[in-house]
């Protein structure tokens, strides 16, 4: 079983979200919606017809979605199977799960307390 297949998203908090979003747009050309961020689109190396995307988003500094300043979202092929394997290995797993039209989500915690988001995109989508 493949575990992580790539980066699904990079999320970080800002003390002044509008100002930071403006900076990223001006200096790096990243135009992002304050609520939804943006997506960097790409194609699978082995199957160029298969499109994918990596999310990028700046959260307000007081967001409760994650506690640390940064959170990485990793793409996975089979979220349920991976969670079972991680459970058997003693990894801390948040019992919360989310499922939306844009995929399934779960969270684990590394030994230093960093919250990690796992994302299984819907089959046939980025």
Among residues of the chain, what percentage have pLDDT more than 90? 75
Please count the structural domains in the chain. Answer: 1
Q: What is the mean pLDDT of the chain?
A: 92
Q: Is residue 1 part of a domain?
A: no
Q: Is residue 126 part of a domain?
A: no
Q: Would you say 121 and 75 are in contact if contact means Cβ atoms under 8 Å apart?
A: yes
pLDDT tens digits, one per residue of 93-115: 999 999 998 899 999 999 888 89
Q: Is residue 83 part of a domain?
A: yes
The whole model's pTM is what? 0.82
Q: Is residue 89 part of a domain?
A: yes
Residue with tokens 């990596």: 54
Which pLDDT score, from 0 to 100, does residue 125 have? 61
Q: Is residue 125 part of a domain?
A: no
Domain that holds residue 94: 6-120
Question: Which tokens belong to 99?
Answer: 């499922």
Q: Is residue 25 part of a domain?
A: yes
- Alpha helices by DSSP H, listed for 2-117, are 17-28, 79-88
Q: Considering only CA atoms, which of 71, 49, 37 is closest in space to residue 125?
A: 49
Q: Is residue 54 part of a domain?
A: yes
Q: Is the four-CA dihedral 112, 55, 69, 120 of positive or negative sign?
A: negative
Which pLDDT score, from 0 to 100, does residue 52 have? 87
Task: Examine the pLDDT at 44 and tell me if it is beyond 90.
Answer: no
Domain harbouring 102, CATH code: 3.10.180.10
Q: Residues 38-65: what's their mean pLDDT? A: 91
């Amino acid at each position: 079983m493949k575990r992580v297949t790539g980066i699904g998203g990079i999320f970080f908090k800002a003390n002044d979200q509008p100002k930071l979003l403006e900076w990223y747009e001006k200096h790096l050309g990243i135009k992002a919606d304050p609520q939804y961020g943006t997506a960097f689109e790409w194609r699978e190396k082995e199957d160029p017809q298969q499109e994918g995307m990596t999310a990028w988003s700046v959260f307000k500094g007081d967001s409760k979605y994650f506690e640390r300043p940064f959170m990485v979202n990793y793409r996975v092929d089979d979220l349920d199977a991976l969670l079972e394997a991680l459970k058997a290995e003693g990894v801390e797993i948040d019992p919360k799960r989310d499922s939306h039209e844009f995929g399934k989500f779960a969270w684990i915690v590394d030994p230093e307390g960093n919250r990690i988001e796992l994302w299984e995109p819907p089959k046939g989508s980025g």
